[in-house]
Structure formats: C-alpha cells, structure tokens
Amino acid sequence: MKHIIKKIIFFFSMIGLLGSPFVYAQEKLKNSVHGKGSQFNEASNVFGINIVQDVPTLGVIIGNVINIIFGFLGVGLVLVIIYSGFMYMTSQGEPEKAKKARRTLVNAIIGAAIVILAWSISYGVLTLITQEVIKK
C-alpha cells in the first residue's frame, strides 16, 4: 500500500513540476502579442475595446501558489482518511490494527483542522497585504 501511495505522490509531483512551465509560457505569449504598446492593443483601443489585462502582482501570484499548495494538502488529507478507513475495514477485528487505523484517522482530522486554520490565516494576511498595496 505504501508503494502505491508513493507512486500517486510522485505522479502528482511530476504533473506540478512539468506542467507549470507551459502555463507561464502561455502568459508570456499573451503579454507579447496582446501586451501594452503592441499593435494589436493599439488597434483594439481605436474601437474602444480594452483587450490588455493587468499582469498579476506578486501578492496575487503568491496567493495562487498558496491556494494550490493547500489544495494538494486537502487532496492528501482525503487520501489519508480513505486509507485509514481501508485499514479499519481490513483489520478483521484485530484490536491492534483497528487502533492504528483510528489513530491514523484522528491524526488526519487534526491535520485537516490545521490546514484549514493555516489557509484562513494566510488568506486573511494576503487579503490585507493586497488591499494595502492597492491603496498606495
């Protein structure tokens, strides 16, 4: 079972590492073609259409990264909860295995509470930071 979990974690890590350059490449392409001062942007302004979108600030990028990390943590916690339920169901009445499964479930629930609190704190701090940047 641990081998399968390692493969799942490796799979999602590779998706994150290999998929992220493509996202940033599209952003760079969009800014070069549709960026401020480009001919396409100047032509669109003649007709009153504003196609150029604002480039995200550092605070927005950090907030997006944090939300992605917390999303992966949430998925991991759900997998641990499912795993602990599987351990409990396959304990076949053995008290030691059932106790280990309950302990895993309790730890996963405590971890979920910590992740939710950490997300709410980071969300509040990032909201305050981005509002302060906008005011200045």
DSSP for 78-125 reads HHHHHHHHHHHHTTTT-HHHHHHHHHHHHHHHHHHHHHHHHHHHHHHH
Res 21: pLDDT:
55
DSSP state of 90: T
Q: Residue 23: what residue type?
A: V
Please tell me the distance from the alpha carbon of residue 93 to that of residue 132, in angstroms, as a whole number.
Answer: 57
Please tell me the distance from the alpha carbon of residue 31 to that of residue 21, in angstroms, as a whole number.
Answer: 15
Q: Residue 2: what residue type?
A: K
Is pTM beyond 0.75 here? no
Q: What is the mean pLDDT of residues 59-71?
A: 83
Domain limits, the chain: 1-53, 56-136
Share of the chain above pLDDT 90, in %: 29
Q: What is the mean pLDDT of residues 100-104?
A: 93
136 has pLDDT over 70:
no
Share of the chain above pLDDT 70, in %: 62
In the chain, what are the helix, strand and coil shares in percent, each to the nearest 5?
Answer: 85, 0, 15
Mean pLDDT of the chain: 75
Q: What is the mean pLDDT of residues 29-41?
A: 52
**Which of 133 and 107 is assigned the larger pLDDT?**
107
